[in-house]
Amino acid sequence: MEGVLPPDTIRQTLVDFLTERNIQVIDEGIREKTSGTYWVVANLFGVRNTLLRLRSFCLEDKEMANTRLKELLLSLEVRSRLREWLQSLALQNLPVSTVRQLRKTTRETVQLYIQQSGAKFVQDFGKTVDWEKLSVLIINRLQDSSAIASSLETISEELALILERYLEEDLEKIVAQAIPILSIDQVIIDRVNATTPQNLEMAVQGIVKSELQAIVNLGGILGFLVGTFQTVLLLLR
């Protein structure tokens, strides 16, 4: 209670409320509308002087006034009463017109606040959030989540099936359509034309040399196998 509504705030509210005009209205209202003992007290003594003295006390002795207000809050059990009232408060117990008006007022207040201070609120809120720590926390939670793991397995299987079906049916068509668009043949021609004769000759010699070496190796292997086969046949005869 002290954190939400401290005694100093209550004292300042009393000071702001007890103006000369308000004190006069309260005094006149009590004089006119009371009866019996209260009427006698109101007309003989009045409440004007009492309220003026209360206002002066709150202005002149602030610490003492705060102490008295704190003691008054404790003695009246305002905290427990307020907690019970808030716990028992429900929209079902209010009239329909009041609920509708409350919803309308809340909606308009939120819309007005977002329009006027929404951007600043988002900026200030973003500065107070440690996004790096938050992202690490979210990733760790997702990694440890069994639901996410099972969902990822199902999603990966479905994606694999979709890609397999897509590649089987449309890959050849996509490549055939992409070659003219990308002008791959023209790119190859331009690269060959841009190559110097010396570099082109060296590239051709390297390719021919590697291919000829492969042919020589293949011939040696085939010759060895044929010779071995013939030798085995001669021995068997």
Condensed to tens digits (0 to 9), the pLDDT of residues 101-122 reads: 888 888 888 888 888 877 777 7
The pLDDT of residue 1 is 45
Q: What is the pTM of this model?
A: 0.34
Under a CB-based contact definition with an 8 Å cutoff, are residues 8 and 59 in contact? no
Tokens of 113: 């606040």
Tell me if 22 sits within 8 A of 48, measured CB to CB. Answer: no
Residue 179 is predicted with a pLDDT of 67
Segment 165-172 shows an average pLDDT of 70
What are the tens digits of pLDDT across the range 59-94? 888 888 888 888 887 777 766 776 776 667 666 666
| Predicted confidence (pLDDT) at residue 3 exceeds the cutoff of 50 | no
- Residue ranges of the domains in the chain? 7-89, 94-127, 130-194, 198-237
Decide if 32 contacts 3 (C-beta within 8 A): no
* Least confident piece of the model among 47-56, 78-87, 225-234: 78-87
CA distance 21 to 27: 10
